[in-house]
């Protein structure tokens, strides 16, 4: 499930919970909407954490080499 699916799941759950007054025998619609919103939030958190982990490129030795800055002056006054 991508980030779009998670947002749709949250939106549908919010609509079912807050904007409708449906009643179904044996089903609590408010609880169903809250569960859908919770699943959408958990899915989005999982997707973002996996996406964040994929963005960092691995290096050959597993560590990022330090940046070394060297300055060369042509004038001897320094």
Per-residue model confidence as pLDDT tens digits over 46-66: 988 887 666 556 566 666 667
Q: Is residue 69 part of a domain?
A: no
Predicted confidence at residue 13, as pLDDT, reads: 95
User: Does the model's pTM come out above 0.85?
Assistant: no
Q: Is residue 48 part of a domain?
A: yes
Neighbours of 74 (CB within 10 A): 5
Burial class of residue 34 (count of CB atoms within 10 Å of its CB; 0-12, 13-18, 19+): middle
Residue 7 lies in domain: 3-55
Q: Is residue 47 part of a domain?
A: yes
Q: Is residue 46 part of a domain?
A: yes
Count of domains observed in the chain: 1
- The DSSP secondary-structure symbol of 37 reads H
């Amino acid at each position: 499930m991508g980030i779009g699916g998670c947002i749709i799941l949250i939106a549908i759950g919010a609509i079912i919970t807050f904007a409708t007054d449906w009643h179904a025998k044996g089903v609590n619609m408010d609880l169903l909407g809250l569960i859908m919103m919770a699943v959408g939030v958990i899915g989005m958190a999982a997707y973002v954490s996996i996406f964040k982990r994929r963005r960092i490129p691995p290096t050959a030795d597993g560590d990022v080499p330090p940046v070394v800055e060297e300055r060369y002056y042509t004038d001897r006054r320094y």
